[in-house]
Structure 1
């Protein structure tokens, strides 16, 4: 399990891989203070200078979008919060020991990854990012300190037996055993042989013996599925072992038995189920090791998230009283009981969503603000309400804030059940979930003019070989393989294959469409012939074949519905205040924005901040 996306975003991927980002570094090299410009803000007394912020802003993708209007203060605040958090983390990890050999190892790995192992190439790389070798090593040392601080924190986390068992109760379904079968199969390459073998089996022939004689898979083991090497006894296997159409037929045989011949993927399957092993909940003792490993990781993630929040909350931030080229806005936007939600919290959620930069780039930034900010605020309100419920319950919830909010909903609805009628209704109301989609094998052949396309189609139907004919006429053949509706086909092709009942001419196994005219670039048209074979209609699976799956999905849907109703009740009872719309309105510029804005209403230190002292206890590097 991984740390929450929100936490990872806050620390720019430190937890994942500090150096995987290549030429983008988390911190800015410290040059001569007189050359770094005036201080813009102080974090725990340490200055962040103007040029340092400018360098950081240049590597921030949101600034490259040239935000205007209400977006500008929102992005400024997002950027400054990241800078503040990173600086606070750097300071907190300053006493962690990192040896010169550890730094050298990371530098060597970085150079190898970037292909700059020679001195000249390395110097060019340093120049391109504005670093000296010494500055680069200092920044890598800082990153390693933070990584070690995080690792140190995770190692200190201990999991109690009560926490592990409670986690298991909430996530019992993740450890449940699937339905399994002990079975033998005969896999063949042609219909005629498959039909012949099937008749022999119906007549009482020994399945294992015929598998040894005919099967293209596992013949030496008598077709035993899941058998150990050298054994001819089937082992328990799940649905994943078989192609989907085969699995659907096999797992209907709950009392054992044999399937008919099933064709899929160009092969023919006959499967004999010797024993059906129903799935279900597994006792805690049988999965205790897995549960403890998962739960410990969840608890560690929560500890890291709490650490980052605490380091940021402890940071004393002061902006200078001069005009600065950034706006920092962080008012309260919502209140849940005695807990407040700040604008910066909402900003973090919104700009962590990859859709938002894309919308801004498309000129839809104002739309993104009006949609995503209210939604993110509501998300944080819900999260806070659920965290309060988790705290009040007295139960040992663990993990990040988001994890606890999710788990308290599972806890609240853990005793919910579904009736057979509810399962059947869910099956009927959600046919797409229980259907095998339509499919077909498709090729297209494209030409630059209709006359050649018509000639190709005529000769193909007359019996000329497809590949040779297309090549001789200058056609471009695209083999799309086996496709389904909605699988990314060009719209015209999908329409021809699945949405119409076109009467195709025949060319061997292939159905051949009429020539289709397609628009191209620079008014140059393309003429396409679509070839289709092995076309199969959508098939809804029988209820009995998917009953267990339908029950799980129906239960999940019912629990989600009840949890949503519970959350609505909590909001009404708590008297939630939500002012995000008013706050966003106050940020919208009333007149043209000046080149610089007033600094936040926070005074600078009365005396210049002292230079950063060397961390005590630092070893020789």
Structure 2
């Protein structure tokens, strides 16, 4: 839950980071996500005005949120939009002390223009106008995004490094996250002629000795009967999938019950692989997995530090409604490990689900609300 919550906390940050996914900023729906200079006041976050246009743009910029704005579901989405926008404003306010130079901003703007094929000044101006932005307003958004990013990085640095005890506990609870690669014990026949490969496959299927055929015909490993790995104690050593060309490895490792592949062409050669034994992934010993475990725990602790920072900002936030049509209730619906879970975060699990978003785009508009509500 903590990891999921942290992702939600950073959604607002990432939405502001123009260095990420800039191509989206010039689509009709998403371009107006960023603050316009004028608009109808809807609410204030610590005294800073958020307009109706800001909130509507955020809603329209997501296919789930824009699926309906009426009924109970519309009210739920309004709750999420207000909470999300308030978080964005909070993060920008909290990052006011971060220095971002004009050169930093210019470099990011140049990157954006190049990534979106907007190096021509007229195309750039037209794109900004289409998004409802001036160049100065856009550069402010870039500055804000970089400041928030650096603020988050500074908060992450305050997290204490993972201890061996923490790493051992994390490993014990998450061993399935640290698995060895699947391996196979097998042999291969590699030839340069497709017809010859097909003939050899027919012989194998008719009961021919694979090792003998490999020794007599294969251009690789013939001195060990086509064994994929070196011979140890009279048997081929298991190999991982990376030991084979991509197409060959995919076919061979699909034979989890053993067997022989069809003829597979790769790199101008033709392969036949016999899988004698498939060895499924198993948890790595702690000593072998320790580096990855420490990385995971350190990342978790950094995330927790940022989560606590974001929660503190939210707890101290003063939210005032100017337009009561946007007044939203966001009650705590659960408490997990001492953390309050507001309703907006539950809604966020649906809104931020990329697979669900793709599914939503495939259904008629009149079915969208029902589908969302079901999820």
- In 2 relative to 1, CA 216–132 (structure 1 residues): closer, same or farther, beyond 3 Å? same
User: What does residue 313 of structure 1 align with?
Assistant: 315
More helix by share: 2
User: What does residue 28 of structure 1 align with?
Assistant: 34
Q: Does 1:300 align with 2:302?
A: yes
Q: Does 1:169 align with 2:172?
A: yes
User: What does residue 330 of structure 1 align with?
Assistant: 330
User: What does residue 349 of structure 2 align with?
Assistant: 349
Structure 1, unpaired ranges of 5+: 228-232, 253-258, 373-621
User: Structure 1 CA distance, aligned partners of 2:273 and 2:50?
Assistant: 71
SS in 2 for 1:156: coil
Q: Does 1:75 align with 2:81?
A: no
User: Structure 1 CA distance, aligned partners of 2:89 and 2:61?
Assistant: 17
Deviation at 1:284, TM superposition (A): 1.4
User: What does residue 483 of structure 1 align with?
Assistant: none
SS in 1 for 2:226: coil
User: Structure 2 CA distance, aligned partners of 1:359 and 1:103?
Assistant: 39
- In 2 relative to 1, CA 109–218 (structure 1 residues): closer, same or farther, beyond 3 Å? farther
Do the aligned partners of 1:73 and 1:327 also contact (CA within 8 Å) in 2? no
User: Structure 1 CA distance, aligned partners of 2:350 and 2:255?
Assistant: 46
SS in 2 for 1:363: helix
Structure 2, unpaired ranges of 5+: 265-269
Do the aligned partners of 1:65 and 1:360 also contact (CA within 8 Å) in 2? no
User: Structure 1 CA distance, aligned partners of 2:363 and 2:211?
Assistant: 67
User: What does residue 256 of structure 1 align with?
Assistant: none
Matching of residues 364-513 of structure 1 within 5 Å: 364=367, 367-368=370-371, 371-372=374-375
Deviation at 1:77, TM superposition (A): 1.5
- In 2 relative to 1, CA 326–60 (structure 1 residues): closer, same or farther, beyond 3 Å? farther
Which of 128, 148, 152 lines up with 1:126 in the alignment? 128
- In 2 relative to 1, CA 330–172 (structure 1 residues): closer, same or farther, beyond 3 Å? closer
Q: Does 1:92 align with 2:94?
A: yes
User: Structure 2 CA distance, aligned partners of 1:66 and 1:286?
Assistant: 51
- In 2 relative to 1, CA 294–235 (structure 1 residues): closer, same or farther, beyond 3 Å? farther
Cα RMSD of the aligned pairs, angstroms, is 4.2
Residue by residue over 1:589-619, the C-alpha shift from the partner in whole angstroms, topping out at 9 and shown as x without a partner, is: xxxxxxxxxxxxxxxxxxxxxxxxxxxxxxx
- In 2 relative to 1, CA 155–62 (structure 1 residues): closer, same or farther, beyond 3 Å? same
User: Structure 1 CA distance, aligned partners of 2:207 and 2:12?
Assistant: 66
Matching of residues 226-305 of structure 1 within 5 Å: 226=229, 236-238=238-240, 241=244, 262=260, 264-265=262-263, 269=272, 271=274, 280-305=282-307
How does the TM-score come out when normalised to structure 1?
Answer: 0.47
Structure with greater Cα Rg: 1
User: Structure 2 CA distance, aligned partners of 1:123 and 1:45?
Assistant: 32
Do the aligned partners of 2:229 and 2:237 also contact (CA within 8 Å) in 1? yes
Larger relative CO (CA 8 A, sep 6+): 1 or 2? Answer: 2
User: Structure 1 CA distance, aligned partners of 2:85 and 2:281?
Assistant: 51
Residue by residue over 1:394-453, the C-alpha shift from the partner in whole angstroms, topping out at 9 and shown as x without a partner, is: xxxxxxxxxxxxxxxxxxxxxxxxxxxxxxxxxxxxxxxxxxxxxxxxxxxxxxxxxxxx
Deviation at 1:141, TM superposition (A): 0.2
Residue by residue over 1:566-586, the C-alpha shift from the partner in whole angstroms, topping out at 9 and shown as x without a partner, is: xxxxxxxxxxxxxxxxxxxxx
Residues 329-338 or 62-71, more deviating: 329-338
User: Structure 2 CA distance, aligned partners of 1:193 and 1:337?
Assistant: 62
Matched length? 346
Deviation at 1:174, TM superposition (A): 3.4
Do the aligned partners of 2:65 and 2:351 also contact (CA within 8 Å) in 1? no
How does the TM-score come out when normalised to structure 2?
Answer: 0.73
User: Structure 2 CA distance, aligned partners of 1:73 and 1:6?
Assistant: 19
Do the aligned partners of 2:162 and 2:298 also contact (CA within 8 Å) in 1? yes
Deviation at 1:65, TM superposition (A): 3.7
